[in-house]
Amino acid sequence: MCCCSVDNTLVAPLHTLDHFPITANLALTPEMAHAPTRVTFRRNLCSLSPSRLSSVVSSSLPSLVQFSALDTNCATDTFCSTLTSCLDNFCPLSSRPARTTPSAPWLSDVLREHRSKLRAAERKWHKSRNSTDLSVYQSLLSSFSANVFTAKTSYYHDKINNCCDAWTLFKTFSSLLNPPPPPPPSTLTADDFAVFFTNKTRTISDQFSTLQTEDNFTTTNAHSFSSFSPLSETDVSKLILSSHPTTCPLDPIPTHLLQAISSSVIPSLTHIINSSLHSGTFPSAFKQARVSPLLKKPSLNPALLENYRPVSLLPFIAKTLERAVFNQLSMFLVQNNLLDSNQSGFKSGHSTETALLSVTEALRLARAASKSSVLILLDLSAAFDTVNHQILLSTLRKMGISGTALQWLNSYLSDRSFMVSWRGEVYKSQQLATGVPQGSVLGLLLFSIYMTSLGSVIQKHGFSYHCYADDTQLYFSFQPDDPTVVARISACLSDISSWMNDHHLQLNLSKTELLVDPANPSFHHNFSIQLGSSTITPSRTARNLGVVMDHQLSFTDHIATTARSCRFALYNIRKITPFLSEQATQLLVQALVLSRLDYCRQVTV
């Protein structure tokens, strides 16, 4: 802060705009704080020949005989360092200053020259205030604006028509439809985010006792799963080539290059995967995640840490190994009916729509039988990040998982870490003592296993339930004059809260929603549930897996919300129609309008 005097204030009329500039003289000596220039590191991959890279990688990797003499960690480190070294020979990292202003790729040299003439004419008119100079300036401005519009239209029209995949196409649509996100404040650092994310999880975990409690989950499963089957080179090739080529900064080479040279790396990669499965060791090089803070909503204040969520990026090869384990582990669980039949989070043929259909159909049947119903939507705080590893391993053991299979899962969970990346800055590695990796292949399956015994707690009170990942909804129906409703809800929520505490999960009662569906619209249930220091009262509406449900199951609020979002999408599409072909317009309408109308359509009819 500094004081200054203001004099010679002048309001100058401007004939080209309806806003008049205010000019003044400020007597001050500002202290200029120059931010350090950000530097980015990139590779020029355009000139790289995948065939040449494949040949060099094949000759640089150790033979399978040499690989077999290495343990899993050494083999993984050798494999990754060799790939990176070969890529460095062809495309070394080069530094360049990061752009501080968005690029305008449609600006040609002719347009830049035209813009220079326009600025010169503007300066000349400001100096002379001559009507002739004003006419010249206005003429150049009109011509330049028309040429920019034509160039921009042509650029995006060609770019959209030449898009070879849906991801690039919708990225282009997004750049046209959505305003740029607010710039992040320069005061926030990677250090701030690392401390915030770590403390948030630690604060929740520290609330619970360190003593381990016996899980009441039991199984009559007579089968056991003690080891993973080795994979063939064909199996590994299918895993690599069938996966989406997402790339993480921790990958030794970009994923699309790994897929392009897969024939030269498949033998070595197959050995690493089989060595990991056989020894029960998850490679240490794959236990680190790169975390990028992402603003939850564009409307939120970007200066507040709590408005960001951590997005974990994991190495592609690590996720390939996870897929190999996922396929075998999930097959064992399905064949022996060990998974919760009311969990729709990762099952083939299940979705948010099937989960909502199951719940709403039960509520409608209850109303048809002249019964009232209660629907409770549980909310958990940082559920994936607070999973206790010992309790999870105990649950896996009771499901019949043992031997090197259990040892591998223990190795997968232990000694994990993350680094926060923010504005080109990477904070030092932070250890993770709890949780399952978000963004991983196995994370959702392991979390679903962790939550399996919650169902018996809910059913003990006569409630039904359905889960989608960490979203749990429980419901039951009753006669309108039943005096025990409040006591039943309180007892059930109390036991659920105790189960959550035993499993080191935090039930967020302030965000837990309660909907009461009366037997008929004229009947109202006015009650509240007291649990500890929290009070839960019935809500008129609540958002459930993307659908706005109301207490009468009319879905009028959801329909109104959907119609409003569709109108807004159509309005945005209309603004960019000059850039779109007919086919691109149809695709955009299907993606942004029809998909909203079709989402959970069977639930609302």
pLDDT digits (tens, 9 = 90+) for 442-478: 999 999 999 999 999 999 999 999 999 889 999 999 9
- Average pLDDT over the chain, rounded to an integer: 87
Closest CA to 88 of 24, 29, 41, 124: 41
Q: SS3 for 590?
A: helix
412 and 479 both lie in a single domain? no
Whole-angstrom distance, CA of residue 211 vs CA of residue 201: 18
Other C-beta atoms closer than 10 Å to the C-beta of 36 total 6
67-81, 114-128, 173-187, 514-528 — which is least confidently predicted?
173-187
- DSSP state, 359? H
Looking at residue 226, its pLDDT comes to 95
pLDDT at 17 > cutoff 70: no
Mean pLDDT for the stretch of residues 336-365 = 90
More confident residue, 171 or 69: 69
pLDDT value of position 552: 87
Pair (234, 189) in one structural domain: yes
Is 155 a domain residue?
yes
| 149 and 180 housed in the same domain | no
Question: What's the pLDDT at 140?
Answer: 92
Q: How far, in Å, CA of 214 to CA of 546, rounded?
A: 35
Residue 1: predicted pLDDT = 45
Query: Between 154 and 209, where is the model more confident?
Result: 154
pLDDT(580) > 90: no
Instruction: State yes or no: pLDDT of 31 exceeds 50.
Output: no
Segment 422-435 shows an average pLDDT of 87
Among all chains, which residue has been given the structure tokens 């080179």?
233
Q: Retrieve residue 476's tokens.
A: 């039951």
Whether 497 and 537 map to the same domain: the answer is: yes
Q: What is the pLDDT of residues 552-578, one digit of tens each?
A: 889 999 999 999 999 999 998 888 888
Reported pTM: 0.84
- Mean pLDDT (whole number) for 191-206: 90
Report yes or no: 353 and 600 within 8 Å, Cβ to Cβ.
Answer: yes
pLDDT tops 70 at residue 535: yes
Does 51 fall in a domain?
no
User: Considering only 72-86, 183-197, 202-216, 409-423, which range has the smallest mean pLDDT?
Assistant: 202-216
**How many domains does one find in the chain?**
4
189 lies in the same domain as 314: yes
Mean pLDDT to the nearest integer, 175-187? 73
Structure tokens at 411: 């190795």
Which tens digits make up the pLDDT trace of 359-407?
999 999 999 999 999 999 999 998 999 999 999 999 999 999 999 999 9
Task: Check pLDDT > 50 for residue 32.
Answer: no
Judge if 252 and 329 occupy the same domain.
yes
pLDDT of residue 210: 60
426 and 456 housed in the same domain: no
34 has a pLDDT exceeding 90: no
Q: Tell which of 502, 520, 546 closes a domain.
A: 546
The predicted pLDDT at position 123 comes to: 92
Q: Are residues 248 and 269 in the same domain?
A: yes
Q: How much of the chain exceeds pLDDT 70, in percent?
A: 90
Helix (H) or strand (E) holding 395: helix 389-398
Residues 326, 261: one domain? yes
Radius of gyration of the chain (CA): 30
What is the pLDDT at residue 263? 93
Q: What mean pLDDT is predicted for residues 52-66?
A: 92
User: Residue 367: which CATH number?
Assistant: 3.30.70
The answer on pLDDT for 220 being more than 60 is no
Domain that holds residue 297: 62-95+163-206+224-335+389-433
Looking at the domain assignment, is residue 344 inside a domain? no
Q: What is the pLDDT of residue 44?
A: 81
pLDDT higher than 70, residue 218 = no
**Residue 566 class from Cβ within 10 Å (0-12 exposed, 13-18 middle, 19+ buried)?**
middle
**Once rounded to an integer, what is the mean pLDDT over residues 481-509?**
92
Task: Taking residues 321-331, report their average pLDDT.
Answer: 96
Question: What band does 3 get if pLDDT is binned at 50, 70 and 90?
Answer: low
Please check whether residues 74 and 176 belong to one and the same domain.
yes
**Domain contains 438:** no
In this structure, are 411 and 463 located in the same domain?
A: no
| Residues 172 and 232 grouped into a single domain | yes
- When mean pLDDT is compared across 33-47, 148-162, 452-466, the lowest value belongs to 33-47
Residue 100 in domain: no
Is the pLDDT higher at 600 or at 220? 600
For residue 533, what pLDDT is reported? 83
Q: Is residue 41 part of a domain?
A: no
- For the ranges 211-215, 451-455, 532-536, 550-554, the lowest mean pLDDT is seen at 211-215
Which of 369, 402, 433 is a domain's end point? 433
Q: What is the mean pLDDT of residues 529-541?
A: 88
Residue 441 lies inside a defined structural domain of this protein: no
Under 8 Å between Cβ of 446 and 436: yes
Alpha-carbon torsion angle 73, 76, 80, 86, nearest 10 = 120
pLDDT for 452 equals: 93
pLDDT at residue 578, as a whole number: 82
CB 273 within 8 A of CB 238: no
